[in-house]
Amino acid sequence: MNQELVEICLRVRDIEATLDFYTNLFDFEVASRREFPENRFDLIYLNSPGSSVQIELTYNYDAEPYNVGDGFSHLGVTVSDLEKMHEVCKASAYETGDLRGLTGGTPTYFFVTDPDGYRIEVKRAK
């Protein structure tokens, strides 16, 4: 049996701020947007360049704030220029961590936090 990971769902509170984060900071593209006002939710699917996995943003109208669980850690993306992306994220309004290396050596990653508190690990592409 063949299997393929096709989507990851994130529940979000401010859809416009979240779309700004993923489309302007990371160049994700909106693949589709489905609105269900009668059921009080919207679904927005994002494509990441070079990946077949989509992020499904679920926006439930009037939802209470979500708690990012302690079992979930982060999403990961790779970039061709880690230092440049770090500077872009630091200049943004989003919480951005320091460049780090796994053993304190050459920096290979950093974390940035989206508007809903989900952490994104930004890694140097190999």
Active-site amino acid positions: 121
End-to-end Cα separation, the chain, in angstroms: 30
* CA pair distance 124, 110, nearest whole angstrom: 9
Dihedral of the alpha carbons of 50, 109, 88, 11, in degrees to the nearest 10: 70
